[in-house]
Amino acid sequence: MTSQIDDKKVRDTRDDLQPGIDNLTSQIKSAAVSDTDKATLALRAGKAIVSNVAEEILVNQFAVTLSKEDEDTTA
């Protein structure tokens, strides 16, 4: 049952984000630059998003692991 709840949350989040994604896509497509530059902009935007999300996840996981290790050490 948890999997179905998580799937719904993912779908809802994707639906919430889609207008912003569509807007960014439209801005890139209509930019007054070459097609090569449009592709570069799109790739850089995607890379920045992935990097920022991945960095936040890694930092959070590190903090949780460090906290757990501290608890294990003091116990």
- Convert the pLDDT of each residue in 33-56 to its tens digit: 999 999 999 999 999 999 999 998
pTM passes above 0.75: no
Measured distance CA(3)–CA(9) in Å, rounded: 10
Cα-to-chain-centroid distance, residue 71: 30
Q: Is the pLDDT confidence value at 1 over 80?
A: no
Q: Three-state DSSP class for 6? A: helix
Long-range contacts of 25-32 (CB under 8 A, 24+ apart): none
Residue 47 tokens read as: 């890379």
